[in-house]
C-alpha cells in the first residue's frame, strides 16, 4: 500500500458493494470499488470492503478469520470472513459475507442461467446491507468498527437506511450513485421480509410508486450522497437523467457532490501491461502501432487508410451503440475499421454479429466478456467510441486516454468532464484529447467520425493529441483527496 504507513491515520470506512476488482466484475463499479482502498490509503483512511461471497471467492482470501455471524440472515445462517486478497498494489482488505442460501449458486451475480434477475435479488442485497449496518453499529468480533459506512449503488442502498432506522449515533453514512438507472425496486409485499419499517413506506421514505426502492432508501437516509462525476451530479437534478428520482435528488441537493472516478494506474499502464504484446509509452508511440498490427491480425482485419475504431462495452440502451450501427457506413466510407467487444442486449448482439458478417475484414465483433482482450484493444485501437445517452463517469474513455487511443464521446456526464474536444481553440492551445459530440444523434456522431478521420490524416497533430491524452492526470490522487475531505466532514 505504498506510503500509507507514513500517513496520519484519519479513520476507518466500511465500503459495501456487490462487485469489486480483482474478485468479481461486471462493469466499472467493480473497478472503482477495488481501486478506492488504495487511493484512500494515501490520505490516511483505512477501508475494508464488504462483498457477498459468490462461488469461489472465499478461496481467494488469505488467512480468513470469521469476524461476524448470524443464525438467521434472511432465511439462513451467515458469517463474514475477513482477510486479504491480492491486487495490483499488493493487497486489499476484504470482508466476505458467506450466506450459501443467497450467494452460492451458478449463473451470474445478478442473473440466473436464463438471463433473468434472480427472483430473490431484493433479499440477497438486503442481507448484504443488513450485515453492513450491523457491523457499523456493533463492530466485528476482532474489535474493528468503521467511522463511515460507504454504500455503493442500490445493492447497498438499504445499508444507510437500516443504520438510520436502528439508530447509529457515532457512524456516518455515505451513498455513491454509480448509475441511477438501477434502483432496486421490490414489491411492497416484501416489507416484512426485508425488515423495513412500514412507517417509512411513504413518499418521504423509501416508497416509490407503490414499491420499495433500495436506492431511494439510501438517498433519503445517508448523511451524504456522491456521484461519480460533477456533470452527472448536475444532470441528476433533471427529469431527463434523474430517472424518476430527480425530486429526491433536488430535495437532497445540499448533500450531493460529484467526485470523478480515478484509474488504477498500475493495472492500466501500456508500459507494463502483461496482456499486450508490445509495451509503449508516450515517447515510443511506434510501438503502439505494433499493437495495432497485432490486433488487426487477431481479428482478421485488413489495413485501412482511416483509424481503427473500437467499442468495449455493455451492449445496452445507455451506451448508445445503436448509433454506431447507424453510422457504420460513414465510418467504413472514410477508411475506418471497427472492433467491438461487448455483451448484453440480445438484439444488439445480433446486429453487431451481422455487421461483422456483412463486412469481413472491416468489422470484427467479440460477443462476450474478456478482460485480457479488452487490454489488447485499448492498446491497439486508434479511437475508442463511447456515444452514451448518459454516462455517470465512464472508465473506458479514461483507459483509452491512458493508452493513447483517442476517445470519441458524447457530451454527457463523466465523458464531458474527462475528454477535451479538439475544437480549434483546444487544438491551438494544445489541450485537446479527443472528440465530443452533441446532441447524441447519428448525424452528430457521423460528424464526430469525420472529425476523427480528419485529425487522423494529420499524423503529426494526431501524435500530439495522443501524447496529450496520455499525459492526463487520471489517477486517484485528486478524487481520493475529495473523498477524504468528505469523510472527514461526516465523521462523528
As a whole number of angstroms, the distance between CA 185 and CA 209 comes to: 10
Tell me the three cell numbers of residue 82: 475477513
391 forms part of the interface with ligand GLC (CB under 6 A): yes
Q: Where are the alpha helices (DSSP H) in 222-368?
A: 230-235, 239-242, 246-251, 286-299, 321-333, 346-358
Given CA atoms 455, 461, 462, 464 in this order, what sign does their dihedral have?
A: negative
Give min distance, CB of 344 to ligand ADP, in A: 9
As a whole number of angstroms, the distance between CA 315 and CA 298 comes to: 22
- Residues in the interface with ligand GLC (CB under 6 A) total 14
- Interface residues with ligand ADP (CB under 6 A)? 27-29, 31, 312-314, 341-343, 369-371, 374, 393-396
Indicate the residue whose CB is closest to ligand GLC: 28
Burial (CB count <10 Å: 0-12, 13-18, 19+), residue 453: buried
Give min distance, CB of 25 to ligand ADP, in A: 7
Tell me the three cell numbers of residue 249: 435528488
As a whole number of angstroms, the distance between CA 15 and CA 98 comes to: 17
Q: Which of 11, 22, 27, 344 binds ligand GLC (CB under 6 A)?
A: 27
Q: Which is nearer to ligand ADP, 213 or 397 (CB)?
A: 397
Q: Which stretch binds ligand GLC (CB under 6 A): 54-62, 117-125, 351-359, 391-399?
A: 391-399
179 forms part of the interface with ligand GLC (CB under 6 A): yes
As a whole number of angstroms, the distance between CA 80 and CA 141 comes to: 10
Write down how long the chain is.
492
Q: Which is nearer to ligand ADP, 46 or 178 (CB)?
A: 178
Q: Which is nearer to ligand GLC, 181 or 285 (CB)?
A: 181
Binding mask 349-388 for ligand GLC (x = CB under 6 A): ----------------------------------------
Give min distance, CB of 377 to ligand ADP, in A: 9
Kindly report the number of other CB atoms within 10 A of residue 113's CB atom. 9
Indicate the residue whose CB is closest to ligand ADP: 28
393 forms part of the interface with ligand GLC (CB under 6 A): yes
Tell me the three cell numbers of residue 26: 461486471
Give min distance, CB of 319 to ligand GLC, in A: 9
- When CB distances are held under 5 to 8 angstroms depending on the partner's kind, the choice from ligand ADP, ligand GLC, none that residue 479 binds is none
Q: Which of 205, 392, 448, 475 binds ligand GLC (CB under 6 A)?
A: 392
Residue 385's φ and ψ, nearest 5 degrees, are: -95, 125
Residue 59's φ and ψ, nearest 5 degrees, are: -65, -20
- When CB distances are held under 5 to 8 angstroms depending on the partner's kind, the choice from ligand ADP, ligand GLC, none that residue 491 binds is none
29 forms part of the interface with ligand GLC (CB under 6 A): yes
CA distances to 296, 340, 378, 410, 459 from 278, rounded to whole Å, are 14, 21, 12, 30, 21
Grid look-up 474536444 returns: 421
83 forms part of the interface with ligand GLC (CB under 6 A): no
261 forms part of the interface with ligand GLC (CB under 6 A): yes
> 415 with 395: CB under 8 angstroms?
no
Q: Which is nearer to ligand ADP, 341 or 490 (CB)?
A: 341
> 461 with 427: CB under 8 angstroms?
yes
Q: Which is nearer to ligand GLC, 179 or 410 (CB)?
A: 179
Q: Which of 394, 404, 448, 475 binds ligand GLC (CB under 6 A)?
A: 394
Give min distance, CB of 162 to ligand ADP, in A: 26
Give min distance, CB of 480 to ligand GLC, in A: 14
Whether omega for the bond prior to residue 406 falls within 30 degrees of 0, making it cis, is: no
3-state secondary structure 171-226: CEEEEEECCCCCCCEEEHHHCCCCCCCHHHCCCCCCEECCEEEHHHHHHHHCCEEE
Residues within window 222-241 making contact with ligand GLC, judged by CB under 6 A: 228
Q: Which is nearer to ligand GLC, 34 or 336 (CB)?
A: 34
Q: Which is nearer to ligand GLC, 64 or 394 (CB)?
A: 394
Residues in the site for ligand GLC, rule: CB under 6 A?
A: 27-29, 32, 178-179, 228, 261, 391-395, 414
Amino acid at each position: 500500500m505504498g506510503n500509507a504507513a507514513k500517513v496520519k491515520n484519519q479513520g476507518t470506512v466500511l465500503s459495501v458493494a456487490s462487485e469489486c476488482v480483482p474478485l468479481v466484475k461486471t462493469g466499472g463499479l467493480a473497478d472503482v470499488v477495488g481501486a478506492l482502498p488504495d487511493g484512500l490509503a494515501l490520505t490516511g483512511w483505512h477501508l475494508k470492503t464488504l462483498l457477498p461471497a459468490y462461488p469461489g471467492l472465499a478461496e481467494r482470501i488469505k488467512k480468513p478469520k470469521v469476524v461476524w455471524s448470524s443464525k438467521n440472515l434472511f432465511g439462513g445462517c451467515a458469517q463474514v470472513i475477513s482477510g486479504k486478497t491480492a491486487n495490483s498494489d499488493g493487497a486489499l482488505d476484504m470482508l466476505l459475507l458467506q450466506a450459501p442460501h443467497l450467494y452460492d449458486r451458478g449463473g451470474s451475480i445478478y442473473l440466473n442461467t436464463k438471463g433473468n434477475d434472480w427472483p430473490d435479488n431484493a433479499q440477497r442485497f438486503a442481507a448484504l446491507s443488513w450485515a453492513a449496518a450491523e457491523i457499523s453499529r456493533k463492530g466485528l468480533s476482532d474489535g474493528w468498527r468503521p467511522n463511515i459506512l460507504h454504500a455503493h449503488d442500490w445493492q447497498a442502498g438499504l445499508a444507510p437506511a437500516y443504520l438510520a432506522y436502528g439508530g447509529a449515533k457515532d457512524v456516518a453514512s455515505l451513498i455513491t450513485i454509480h448509475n441511477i438507472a438501477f434502483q432496486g425496486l421490490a414489491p411492497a409485499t416484501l416489507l416484512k421480509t426485508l425488515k423495513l419499517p412500514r412507517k417509512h413506506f411513504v413518499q418521504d421514505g423509501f416508497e416509490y410508486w407503490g414499491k420499495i426502492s433500495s436506492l431511494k432508501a439510501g438517498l433519503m437516509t445517508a448523511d451524504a450522497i456522491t456521484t461519480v462525476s460533477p456533470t452527472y451530479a448536475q444532470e441528476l437534478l433533471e427529469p431527463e437523467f434523474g430517472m424518476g428520482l430527480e425530486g429526491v435528488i433536488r430535495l437532497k441537493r445540499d448533500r450531493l457532490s460529484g467526485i470523478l472516478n480515478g484509474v488504477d494506474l498500475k493495472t492500466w499502464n501500456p508500459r507494463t501491461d502483461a496482456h499486450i504484446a508490445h509495451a509503449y509509452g508516450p515517447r515510443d508511440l511506434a510501438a503502439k502501432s505494433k499493437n495495432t498490427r497485432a490486433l488487426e491480425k487477431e481479428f482478421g482485419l485488413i489495413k485501412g487508410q482511416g483509424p481503427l475504431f473500437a467499442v468495449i462495452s455493455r451492449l445496452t440502451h445507455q451506451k448508445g451503440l445503436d448509433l454506431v450501427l447507424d453510422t457504420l457506413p460513414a465510418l467504413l466510407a472514410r477508411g475506418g475499421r471497427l472492433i467491438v467487444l461487448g455483451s448484453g442486449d440480445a438484439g444488439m448482439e445480433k446486429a453487431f454479429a451481422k455487421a461483422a458478417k456483412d463486412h469481413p475484414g472491416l468489422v470484427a465483433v467479440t460477443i462476450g466478456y474478456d478482460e485480457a482482450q479488452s487490454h489488447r484493444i485499448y492498446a491497439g485501437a486508434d479511437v475508442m467510441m463511447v456515444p452514451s445517452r448518459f454516462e455517470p463517469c465512464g472508465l473506458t474513455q479514461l483507459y483509452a486516454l491512458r493508452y493513447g487511443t483517442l476517445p470519441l464521446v458524447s457530451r454527457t456526464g463523466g465523458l464531458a468532464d474527462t475528454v477535451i474536444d479538439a475544437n480549434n481553440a483546444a487544438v491551438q492551445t494544445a489541450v485537446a484529447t479527443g472528440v465530443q459530440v452533441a446532441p447524441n444523434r447519428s448525424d452528430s456522431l457521423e460528424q464526430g467520425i469525420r472529425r476523427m478521420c480528419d485529425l487522423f490524416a494529420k499524423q503529426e497533430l494526431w501524435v500530439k493529441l495522443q501524447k496529450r491524452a496520455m499525459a492526463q492526470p487520471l489517477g486517484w490522487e485528486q478524487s481520493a483527496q475529495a473523498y477524504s475531505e468528505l469523510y472527514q466532514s461526516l465523521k462523528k
